Amino acid sequence: MINIKEAKTKKEIKKFVLFPFSLYKNNKYWVPPIIKDEINNFDANKNPVFKHSQAWFLLAYKNDKIVGRVLAIINWHEVNEQKIKKMRFGWFDMIDDVEVSKALLAKVNEIGKQHNLEYLEGPVGFNNLDKTGVLIDGFDHLGTMITWYNHPYYKDHLEQLGFVKEKEYLENKFKFKNVDTVYYSRVSNIIKKRLKLKALDFKKTKDIMPYVDDMFTVFDKSYSTLATYVPISEEQKEYFKKKYISFINPEYIKFVMNDENQLIAFAIVMPSFSNALQKAKGKLFPTGIFYLLNAKKHAKDVTFYLIGIDPKYQNKGVTAIIFDQYSKTFAKKGIINCIRTPELEENEAIRKIWQDFNPVTHKRRRTYRKAIQ
């Protein structure tokens, strides 16, 4: 018999965080989180996302052993302001037993019904800065710190339980050598002169901080038209600043300004921490921190995390300025592979940005939906 229990205490939340470590113990493609960071992320006293959201940490037990987990989420801004009656679920992991998935998702359904919501969707996080989607193709490729990895049977479980495709996401990568650096240098100079723009590069994190609020303004403008968009609160932005900006190599953050010194475009690239996180095995100390610091400076693969352009400047060649900036930085760093975060299959605009680099789709992931019953 499968029992579902809600994890509430720190000890129970830690069990929730640790479950995938046993599930993927010998999997060479799974990238573990830092345990302490993950626990802090789920702490309502530390993560401001809980000011606008509610979450239930659910663990599935069979013969007194944890066999699955799921996080049931209600984003109250989405429900009350956007009028989207969605019950979210994420951090969804389980053994290959469809009855475990059934029991976990039945509990999520029950919570959604209690709150008069209309449908379940997942795996998703609290908002657009979180991980999203169950992997449906590309299981033999290394995961990243900003995506979930899962076994192939996850998709099968969801479909057996009546869930249907909601959104599909593509993950692409390309070789840096595919970028025509001479071309982008030339076009970048033309665009900067034509539109009276300038590029900003950084060497120190402290020099980036004054621009981060403006960066989120551009982010909001860039992504607000997407069906999956949920606004990010001011408190969450501050949390993001403290948690991530200082962690990213400042040379990998690029801004474009107009002649009124307003930020009109940005991009954030992260060095690949995948191998370092695997070596760290969920712990920063005693050696994990050194693996991560080494990757921050010397990783030869990078992940394009966020890119945003003010709608007024879209389709005007501004991306050429950003690519020219990165081309110069990547050449110095000896970057080999450029990996992109999941992008909506329907997002034609983003695909056009990358089409000249001969990208290869190496992973596909999907969110699933089911009416609450």
pTM beyond 0.85: the answer is yes
**Integer Cα distance of 138 and 364 in angstroms:** 7
Q: Are 322 and 265 in contact (CB under 8 A)?
A: yes
**Integer Cα distance of 372 and 87 in angstroms:** 9
Taking the domains of the chain in order of start, what are their residue ranges? 2-169, 174-364
Token pair of 345, please? 């299959």
Strand 164-175 versus strand 2-7 pairing type:
unpaired
Question: For residue 44, which of 32, 52, 35, 36 has the smallest C-alpha distance?
Answer: 52
Q: CA dist 173 to 48, 82, 156, Å?
A: 33, 34, 26
pLDDT level of residue 240 (50, 70, 90 thresholds): confident
Q: In which residue are the tokens 């994890």 written?
A: 7
Q: What is the pLDDT of residues 255-295, one digit of tens each?
A: 999 999 999 999 999 999 999 999 999 999 999 999 999 99
**Integer Cα distance of 136 and 317 in angstroms:** 34
Strand 337-340 versus strand 301-309 pairing type:
parallel
Calculate mean pLDDT across residues 199-212.
94
Whether residue 229 is predicted with pLDDT greater than 90 in this model: the reply is no
Beta strand extents in the chain (DSSP E only): 2-7, 53-62, 65-75, 86-94, 119-122, 134-137, 164-175, 198-200, 253-257, 263-271, 301-309, 337-340, 343-344, 360-371
Return the percentage of the chain with pLDDT > 90, whole number: 87
CA angle, 194 then 195 then 200, to 5°: 115
Q: CA dist 179 to 65, 170, 328, 335, 354, Å?
A: 50, 20, 11, 12, 10
**Integer Cα distance of 55 and 91 in angstroms:** 11
Please provide the CATH number assigned to the domain covering 2-169. Answer: 3.40.630.30
**Integer Cα distance of 108 and 154 in angstroms:** 16
Whether residue 61 is predicted with pLDDT greater than 90 in this model: the reply is yes
Q: Is 119 helix (H, G, I), strand (E, B) or coil?
A: strand
Classified by CATH at the fold level, domain 174-364 comes out as: Aminopeptidase (3.40.630)
Mean pLDDT of the chain: 95
Q: Is 126 helix (H, G, I), strand (E, B) or coil?
A: coil
Strand 343-344 versus strand 337-340 pairing type:
unpaired
Taken in order 318, 320, 323, 324, the sign of the CA dihedral is negative
Those residues with Cβ within 8 angstroms of residue 260's Cβ, 6 or more apart along the chain or in another chain:
none
Distance of CA 252 to the CA centre of its chain: 17
| Fold match flag (2-169 vs 174-364) | yes
Q: CA dist 110 to 68, 117, 166, 184, 371, Å?
A: 17, 10, 20, 53, 12
Q: What is the pLDDT of residues 127-151, one digit of tens each?
A: 988 999 999 999 999 999 999 999 9
Q: Higher pLDDT residue, 356 or 60? A: 60
**Which of 74-78, 156-160, 225-229, 306-310 has the lowest average pLDDT?**
225-229
What string of DSSP letters covers 35-75? HHHHHHHT-TTT-GGGGTEEEEEEEEEETTEEEEEEEEEEE
**Integer Cα distance of 232 and 220 in angstroms:** 8
Q: Is 265 helix (H, G, I), strand (E, B) or coil?
A: strand
Whether residue 227 is predicted with pLDDT greater than 80 in this model: the reply is no
